[in-house]
Amino acid sequence: MNADRAHASLRSATRWRLWEPLLWVVAFASPLVLSQYAAIVNEIAITALFALSLDLVLGFTGIVSLGHAAFFGFGAYAAALFAKHFMPDPLVGLAVGIAAATVLGAAASFTVQRGSDLTRLMVTLGAALILLELANKLDWLTGGADGLQGVVMGPLLGKFEFDLAGRTAAWYSLTVLLIFFFISRRLMHSPFGATLKAIRDNRLRAMSIGIPVGSRITVAYTIAAALAGAAGALLAQTTGFASLDVFEFHRSADVMLILVVGGTGWLYGGVLGAIVFKLMQDFLSAITPQYWTFWLGLFLVVLVLVGRDRLLKPWTIFRRGRAA
């Protein structure tokens, strides 16, 4: 009876609520209706995918990371190098970026198996800084401090050129985000996802009931790295450029802040956080280019003091439904 109830609960969690299709329709319509903001929509979609990847390990598995930019940057450079030296096809390049980040994530997953949260913070941050320094020193391959320039992408599916307005790029990134969001949703609301939540809540108890904690963490970390690599690949493909900035500490810090805004352990938290963060960044930097980070920091302080549920009350209703 308990097993049947658990399966029914998982099936219920994977059902789409009435507001969800409307949300995605609005997202896909925005590059056409608000064509002047297509570039921002593209950035939001990429950032949301990056935040989604971190939420899989932080919100669902309980693994903290300050070096998630390592996978983002690795995917970006892999896709950019493949497009420049081998084939400009976007979808093949995206697959290459995902594959490269997946391999890196599988190797790095063993570094977060043990130790305290502080240890994991330092280890993950160190991995990202190592890759940053390697990208800087291997200038013959990566372009060094000047970045990898001259990345020209071919038409998407052989038909859709990347226009200057950024609409094709926005729809491309939104489509990839939707696909990976659906996959993550199914995965996190499955028996596998339930074991990850058990590990997050109490690792010792999870081990005592027979959950293979080590292998579960490895799989979750590898999947999260793949999604981060996809986000990095999208950034390199839609901008035609890859620089050391993709490995910088602020990438990992920003995506952590995005989850603070949107909430962890809730897949739409990364999407909501990316929307709020990017719109505030664009709006505030246009008003006060030098001090926009002050106002963003003030917003975060107010968010923590007042509470996310109170400050973002309309979205709280969605979160209570646990649709994702």
- What is the per-residue pLDDT across 143-176, written as a single tens digit (0 to 9) for each? 888 888 777 888 887 777 887 777 888 899 999 9
- Coil vs helix vs strand at 113: coil
- Contacts of residue 106, Cβ cutoff 8 Å, sequence gap at least 6: 218, 221, 222, 225
Cα angle value 306/308/312 (rounded, 5°):
105
Burial of 135 (C-beta count, 10 Å sphere; 0-12/13-18/19+)? buried
DSSP 8-state secondary structure symbol assigned to residue 18: T
Predicted pLDDT at 110: 84
Query: 117 pLDDT band (50/70/90 cuts)?
Result: confident
Distance CA 79, CA 151 (A): 9
**Cα pseudo-dihedral 127, 263, 320, 231, rounded to 10:** -60
| Strand partners of residue 242 | 148
Predicted pLDDT at 264: 81
Q: Contact 56/184 with Cβ under 8 angstroms? A: yes
Closest by Cα among 293, 178, 277 to 234: 178
The half-sphere exposure of 321 on its side-chain side, counting CA atoms within 13 A, is 15
Predicted pLDDT at 322: 47
Distance CA 295, CA 187 (A): 37
Predicted pLDDT at 111: 82
Helices (H) and strands (E) in the chain, counts: 16, 0
Across the range 46-58, mean pLDDT stands at: 92
Tokens representing 264 are 């962890």
The model's pTM is 0.87
Domain ranges, ordered by start, for the chain: 2-249
Tokens representing 313 are 């009350």
Tokens representing 209 are 């009931």
CB atoms within 10 A of CB 124: 25
Distance CA 212, CA 216 (A): 6
> Pick the residue with more confidence: 144 or 44?
44
Predicted pLDDT at 67: 85
Predicted pLDDT at 323: 45
Is residue 11 over pLDDT 70? no
Task: Tell me the backbone φ, ψ of residue 162, rounded to 5 degrees.
Answer: -80, 105
Distance CA 262, CA 218 (A): 25
Q: What is the DSSP string of 168-204?
A: HHHHHHHHHHHHHHHHHHHHHTSHHHHHHHHHHH-HH
Predicted pLDDT at 143: 81
Distance CA 21, CA 112 (A): 36
